[in-house]
Amino acid sequence: MTTVGHMMVPKEGVTNIGQCLGDENWEKHFDFLPVERDAWRQLDNAGVLDELQRIADGIVSEHEEAWFNRPDLLGVVCQEARNRVPSEASALLAEIIQIAQIARSRGSVVIFAS
């Protein structure tokens, strides 16, 4: 599986997210979801990445970083898009919705980073 990045939620107790993103062992600081390239392309082809860009701080793209400060809104956008994308992309959106729910329960953000 080739990934373009990860959707991440800081674990409880993480206070300096930026520093943790730069940590060589960043995985220990985040709950994360690998974003597979084929599903990412399907989202792009369906215009979903443009929709995500409208609610993100940063750039929703490979080799970039974006922060979703409203995980509830991220979940809504992903849910609305699920019915109009191929099954692989729909499965990814379902997992992003779960990540958004975790972030919301922690009062945190969701980060996409590659």
pLDDT range class, residue 23, cuts 50, 70, 90: confident
> Alpha-carbon distance 27 to 57, whole Å?
22
Residue-wise pLDDT for 35-89, tens only, equals 999 999 999 999 999 999 999 999 999 989 999 999 999 999 999 999 999 999 9
> What mean pLDDT comes out for the span 3-32?
93
> Alpha-carbon distance 56 to 84, whole Å?
21
> What mean pLDDT comes out for the span 85-97?
97
- Domain extent listing, the chain: 3-113
Q: 3-state SS string over 33-101?
A: EEEEHHHHHHHHHCCHHHHHHHCCEECCCCCCEEEECCHHHHHHHHHHHHHHCCHHHHHHHHHHHHHHH
CATH fold of 3-113 reads: Hypothetical protein yfbM fold (3.40.1760)
One-letter amino acid of 4: V
Q: Which percentage of the chain shows pLDDT scores above 90?
A: 89
Q: What is the pLDDT of residue 75?
A: 98
Task: Quickly tell me which residue has 């443009």 as its tokens.
Answer: 50
Q: What is the pLDDT of residue 1?
A: 74
Mean pLDDT of the chain: 95
> What mean pLDDT comes out for the span 14-38?
93
Measured in residues, the chain has a length of: 114
